[in-house]
A and B are shown apart, each in its own frame.
Chain A
Amino acid sequence: MATKTLDRLWRLLLFVSKLCCLTLLLSSYTTPCMCRVGLVAQSNSLEERASKALELAQSGNLESAEDELRKVVALEPDNGEFLQELGTVLAMEKKLEESTSFFERALRIEPGALVARRYLAANLWQLHRFAEARQNLQILLKAKPGDPQTLLLLGMVSENTADYSTAVKTLSSVPALVRAQPESIAALARSYYHIGDADKARLWLKELLNHPAGTRAVLLGAQIADEMQDYRTAEMLLASLPTDLSDQATVKYQLALVKFHASQFAESEKLVQQLLDAGHQSGEIYRLLGRCREEQHHHQDAVRAFQEAIKLEPTNVTSYLDLGKILLTERRLVPALELTRRTANAFPESSRVFVLKGSVELAAALFTDAVDSFSRALQLDASGADASIGLARAQFGSGMIQQAEGTLERAIANFPNKAPFELELAQLLLKQAETGDEGAGARAEQLLKSAVVHDDTLAEAHYQLGELELVRGQAQRALIHLEKAAKLNPTSAKTHFALSRAFRRLGRNEEAAKQAALYDKLKDQETSRASAAPSTN
């Protein structure tokens, strides 16, 4: 019986192993393999029940297979084989957490069960528990160096954790396995892009052109190229697909997306319009249409597109956010307020919605409402940098000065990227300094200097340092900061205004006049861009 069972199990194992390789490399929805890693017969009846369960699993009746194996495990809870089998069936049912726990129990009894460990690693990878997955894979490689399956999975995990050099090293060592699945090719290509070897990335992406996975593979490759801003390769891949494909809409949409990312907004819009004209209507398509129009400053048309997206997918918050942002940019604050209030009611647990609502309220000088909105956003997601800054601005605007300072001090302490918060707090303190708080002025300067140390590309921080020097009468020192600010942000009207003041004070009147003229030109542009919508103080 043992031989028969073993034979059955090994055949099943072979079958399942093949299945395993395939499914392992799919995205998070990969179904792990069913396996039988050994045979421990406690009793004939348990063995028979286990075999029956495996047959049920093979026939696709996973629920019954699970039931049977649970009963078997309940009767013999320390049987590693049975635990592994149950783990396998649960994994096939996508009950990954529970499957993982059974594999872990099995490995505690039989730590040397390599296949079980590999499947555990696969589970952990799918659960995004990458560090644990890596740990188990390294144990496997120690036990069986050069094991291709392990190397493949390790490569996938490394790519997921942005360890691109390890990903390249491990995946490129198992080319045959990588070639088997478009997902592994995509992972290797992405890793090559990240380490700066675009040529090798493109070579691997070209493998997708004739891949057995067909259109799916090509689309995935195009997606990777697009993501890595290799738009020509993305377009090449998409263009390789036959025009009589049944899923032409998806291809066209992908191409439109690539064109959009490549800033070819008019062309992208044309493709999207073709999709709509052919009757392909979805929220996603209308959103892309809206973004194309927004980028071309056809704001009214963009609004209409986003409104259509909302009509088609009223439960998709993205469309509301996109529409709200465009209304805010356009300073159409009344409809923006109405929309964000409605959206907040519909999506009360969305931090992004409350950030947008707060931003609109801030723009409309409804500071106390903005305080509430940003506070709610932070309650929902304490890691929101935008929400922290928005809250501080709203608090300051409504006169809650100490609270505003506290919000920013906390953000400086908690966020790794401190520079934006240091700048924001500095600007708040500079306003406080206007009301006679001399200590605030000194601290503001300290923060500005710290901000440029943390991030030298903060044009505003350089501008403010320049202004402080101008106030002190140190025009030459002001010039250093202001010229840096102008280099970082050449379209800032106020920077050129400040430069004209600095030059004038140094008696360099020609340069002063030049900067003043630049200021006038940029100011006119700013004014004509600004909405004429009447609002109140």
Chain B
Amino acid sequence: MPQQPRPPIRNDSIYRRILPLILLPLAAFLSFISLNCLQPTQAQSSSPSKEIFTDISEEAGVTWRHFSGESQDRFLIETMGGGVAFLDFDGDGLEDLFFVNGGETPHGKSALPVRNALYRNLGNGRFQDVAAKAGVDRFSFYGMGVAAGDFDNDGFPDLYVTGFPASALFHNNGDGTFTNVTDRAGVKNAGRWAASAAWFDFDRDGYLDLVVTNYVQFSFSDVKKCELDGKPSYCVQKAYAGIPLALYHNNGDGTFTDVSERSGLAKLIGRALGVVAVDTNDDGWTDLFVARDASPNLLLINQKDGTFRDVAMDSEVAYNSDGVAKAGMGIDAGDVNGDGKPDFVVTNFNDEYHSLFVSSPAGLFDDKSVSSRLAEYTKPFVGWGVHFIDYDNDGNLDLVIANGHINQAVEATRIDVKYKEPPLLLRNDGKGRFHNMRDFAGAGFRAGQSARGLAVGDFNNDGGIDVVFTRLNEKPVLLRNNEGTNHPWIGLELQGTKSNRDAIGSRVTVDIGTRKLVRWITGGASYLSSRDKRVLVGLGDVPDSTEVAVEICWPSGTTQRLSHLKRNQYRTVVEPNADELPRENRK
């Protein structure tokens, strides 16, 4: 039999030697490609394949609807919207939601009772409205905003609800219910149209005091007639006279004293809408920045004696560069450029663009609205609620803004301004500029809205800051953050002991070696709304090996240092007594 041809003999040894030489570079090359293609570039950082925020309003069961009392009388109050608060009212470690409804007007009636909503976080991505059971579903006035704060330091956040022609204080009983203690407390703010409010401890006595921004002189019997192009229209704010702020001192016994006159706030007459309480000059005493509508903004420096001095003009935050007061509505404070000092963002009207005031060494503020590109993105919009947030935890504070015009007729006279306007998510690149993340932010940021109040909080405790905003005559929008886990983070829930329980007024500095990230627990902020009081700090690209240290400056003056903090979790930090601190930490 002839021999069958043999297959060629593979020189296995050669293959064993050669293949790795061929394949290893190829593998390295492939992994190099994948690293560079899949790793976000600087400009594209957080340009994910999934949306940054997902609208989970429906699946969460948030079905409450705002009612403005819209009517033929066209009262200005019908355009202002309502506020929202993130708060853990039942102390179960999960942030709940409280929505303030508007109300009826003389010719704007509702078929159903106008109710607020208190959504209890069930922990599974769903919420349940328990407002009626809690006793906060209704009140007798037209509702505007809410400030959540533990005024009696009992560990349960209370609610101050603003409105016209009165406001109300609801004490959290700690059992899922609230009691209206307005009259006893003496904080009714009767006869006034109140907008935002802020809890803060102005005299450092350990109890939260209350500042209320009052807007304009208003009455349902004073029907102002305005027209645009011959058609009835809402009057502008300048048709209404401004009124003074109100400041209530917490006496520590469930009552408050109106110290508006004594503090100097009563003489500051204007159209105030937003307020944030933060220590602007790092002297340990909390100051106030008040955003006002067609009135100059106020920067009220705490004089440490129960009075405040307005330095807005000298600090160059009162007006725009032409000396004109913009239509300030919402406000927030945060360290946008990493210099350890608070900067401010204020939302304004279309054509004015929203303002970014960045603190400068000389004690002034530089208007960085244009150079930061904030002006570019916001010029066509009327802005309301606003917060600095670090949505991707890269350590840089980004911005989320609620927008919406007040006048439907604007579209008849302008081609570039719309009535419904999309909210904005602006990413901070860490180099002084923002970038509009519209294409990646999610559907909630692409559609035009009549958005007003805006609050931020981590409702699912995953380290990603979530957002909720209210809409005029519509259901609110609850947005879940999908990007929070992009970078490591730490979460701190501060509990004051000598300081107010909420620790409002604290300054937290997170040291990650190459950077120090400063955050404050502010009072107030945004527009008509109240945020999750916990401090959530994104650590950016900090290596795993880097120790994270934190310094907390409590409102009482105590400074506490913590180290070896575990990442990606919340931690409760209780204010120590001075003698509990290491000697070198005592102040």
B-binding residues in A (CB < 8 A): 334, 337, 364-369, 397-400, 433-436, 467, 470-471, 493-494, 496-498, 501, 504-505, 512, 516, 519, 523, 532, 534-537
Majority SS of interface residues in chain B? Answer: loop
List chain B residues, Cβ under 8 A from A532.
Answer: 239
**Is B416 an interface residue, CB under 8 A from the partner?**
yes
Separation of A532 and B228 alpha carbons in the complex (Å): 16
With A534-B226, A536-B407 already in contact, the answer to whether A368 and B413 are too (CB < 8 A) is yes
**Which residue among B233, B323, B379, B406 has the maximum number of chain A CB atoms within 10 Å of its CB?**
B323
The CA-CA distance from A516 to B323 in the complex, in Å, is 10
- A365-B228, A496-B323 known; 17 other A-B pairs, CB under 8 Å? A334-B227, A367-B413, A368-B414, A398-B415, A399-B415, A433-B370, A434-B376, A497-B322, A505-B364, A512-B314, A519-B323, A532-B239, A536-B226, A536-B227, A536-B228, A537-B236, A537-B349
Q: A366-B229, A399-B416, A505-B362 are in contact. Are A536 and B235 (CB under 8 A)?
A: yes
B409: interface (CB < 8 Å): yes
B235 contacts A534, CB within 8 Å? yes
Min CB distance A92 to B, Å, is 56
The distance from the CB of B379 to the nearest CB of chain A, in whole angstroms, is: 6
Once the chains bind, are A434 and B379 in contact (CB under 8 Å)?
Answer: yes
A493 to B313, CA, bound (A): 14
> Is the CB of B319 closer than 8 A to any CB of chain A?
yes
Q: CB within 8 Å of A: which of B359-379?
A: 362, 364, 369-370, 373, 375-376, 379
Contact among B226, B319, B364, B375 with A535 in the assembled complex (CB-CB below 8 Å)? B226
Quick one: which of B225, B230, B353 has the most chain A CB within 10 A? Answer: B230
- Distance from B265 Cβ to chain A, minimum over Cβ atoms (Å): 20
Cβ contact within 8 Å between B353 and A434: yes
| Interchain nearest-CB distance for A467 vs B (Å) | 6
B residues within 8 A CB of A400? 415
Cross-chain contact of B413 among A365, A434, A493, A498 (Cβ < 8 A): A365
Separation in Å of the A501 CB from the closest CB of chain B?
Answer: 6
Q: Which 3 A-B pairs have the closest CB atoms?
A: A399-B416, A497-B323, A436-B376
Q: What are 27 A-B residue pairs whose CB atoms fall within 8 Å in the complex?
A: A364-B229, A365-B414, A367-B414, A368-B414, A369-B413, A397-B414, A398-B414, A398-B416, A399-B416, A399-B417, A400-B415, A433-B370, A434-B369, A435-B379, A436-B376, A471-B321, A494-B324, A498-B321, A498-B323, A505-B364, A516-B313, A532-B239, A535-B226, A536-B235, A536-B409, A537-B236, A537-B350
* A516 to B239 Cα, complex, angstroms: 26
CA distance A504 to B236 in the complex (A): 34
Q: Which residues of A contact B350 (CB under 8 A)?
A: 537
Contact of A537 among B375, B406, B412 (CB under 8 A): B406
Listed residue (B225, B238, B413) with the most chain A CB atoms within 10 angstroms of its CB: B413
The secondary-structure label for the interface of chain A is helix
**CB < 8 Å neighbour of A435 from B235, B364, B375, B409:** B375
B415 and A368 contacting across the interface, CB-CB below 8 Å: yes
Q: How far is the CA of A494 from the CA of B410 in the complex (A)?
A: 28
B224 touches A (CB below 8 Å): yes
CA distance A499 to B410 in the complex (A): 36
Q: A334-B227, A365-B413, A536-B226 known; A497 and B319 CB under 8 Å?
A: yes
- Closest Cβ of chain B to A107, distance in Å, is 62
B322, A494: Cβ atoms under 8 Å? yes
Q: In the bound complex, how far is the Cα of B217 from the Cα of A63, in angstroms?
A: 79
**In the complex, chain B residues whose CB is within 8 Å of the CB of A467:** 321
A385 to B397, CA, bound (A): 49
**A493 contacts which chain B residues (CB < 8 A)?**
323
- Contacting pair A366 B413 (CB below 8 A): yes
User: Would you list which residues of chain B between 85 and 110 have a CB under 8 Å from chain A?
Assistant: none
Contacts of B416-470 to chain A: CB distance below 8 A: 416-417
Does B316 count as interface, using CB distance less than 8 angstroms? Answer: yes
Residue on B nearest A368 in the bound complex, by CB:
B413
Q: Does B234 contact A (CB under 8 A)?
A: yes
Residues B321 and A534 in contact, CB atoms below 8 Å apart: no
The size bracket of the interface on B is 35 or more
Assess the A434–B407 pair: CB atoms within 8 A: no
Question: Which of A501, A519, A537 counts the most chain B CB atoms within 10 A?
Answer: A537
Known: A501-B316, A536-B227, A537-B407. A434 touches B362 (CB 8 A): no
Report A474 CB to chain B, min CB distance, Å.
Answer: 14
Contacting pair B236 A536 (CB below 8 A): yes
Interface residues of B in 213-249 (CB under 8 A from A): 224-230, 233-236, 238-239
Which residues of A have CB within 8 Å of B228? 364-366, 535-536
A461 to chain B, nearest CB (A): 15
B235 and A434: CB pair below 8 A? no
Q: How far is the CA of A369 from the CA of B412 in the complex (A)?
A: 10
> Closest approach, in angstroms, between the C-beta of A486 and any C-beta of chain B?
13
Complexed CA–CA distance, A537 and B406 (Å): 9
User: Are the CB atoms of B416 and A534 closer together than 8 Å?
Assistant: no
Bound: A368/B238 CA distance, A: 24
**A-facing residues in B379-414 (Cβ within 8 Å):** 379, 406-407, 409-410, 412-414
Q: How far is the CA of A366 from the CA of B414 in the complex (A)?
A: 8
Say how far A435's CB is from chain B's closest CB, in angstroms.
4
With both beta carbons as reference points, the residue of chain A lying nearest to B363 in the complex is identified as A504
In the docked arrangement, what's the CA distance between A229 and B294, Å? 44
How many angstroms from the CA of A301 to the CA of B316 in the assembled complex? 42
Residue of A nearest to B314 (CB): A504
From known contacts A436-B373, A470-B321, infer whether A399 and B233 are also in contact, taking CB-CB under 8 Å: no
Chain A CB within 10 Å — which of B228, B234, B236, B369 has the most? Answer: B228
CA distance A337 to B313 in the complex (A): 38
- Whether A504 pairs with B364 at a CB distance below 8 angstroms is yes
Which residues of chain A have C-beta atoms less than 8 A from B229's C-beta?
A: 364, 366, 369
Q: In whole angstroms, how far apart are the Cα atoms of A536 and B233 in the complex?
A: 7
Q: Do B323 and A535 touch across chains, with their CB atoms under 8 A apart?
A: no
Residues of A within 8 A of B238 (CB): 534
A284 to chain B, nearest CB (A): 33
Residues from chain A with Cβ under 8 Å of B413 in the complex: 365-369, 398
Asked whether A535 lies within 8 Å of B416 as measured between CB atoms, the reply is: no
A337 vs B227: C-alpha distance when bound (angstroms): 11
Chain B contacts for A398, CB-based, 8 A: 413-416
Q: Chain A contacts of B349 at CB under 8 A? A: 537
* Inter-chain contacts of A368 with B (CB < 8 A): 412-415
Q: Known contacts A434-B353, A497-B322; is A537 also within 8 Å of B362 by CB?
A: no
Q: A337-B230, A536-B409 are in contact. Are A434 and B415 (CB under 8 A)?
A: no
Interface hits, B37-83 → A, CB 8 Å: none
A474 to B36, CA, bound (A): 43
Closest to A520 in B: B313
- Considering the chains assembled together, what is the distance between the CA atoms of A470 and B316 in angstroms? 12
Task: Check A536–B234 contact: CB distance below 8 A.
Answer: yes
A198 to B147, CA, bound (A): 77
Find chain B residues with CB under 8 A from A334 CB: 227, 230
List chain A residues, Cβ under 8 A from B353: 434
Q: What is the CA–CA distance of A337 and B231 in the complex, to the nearest angstrom?
A: 12
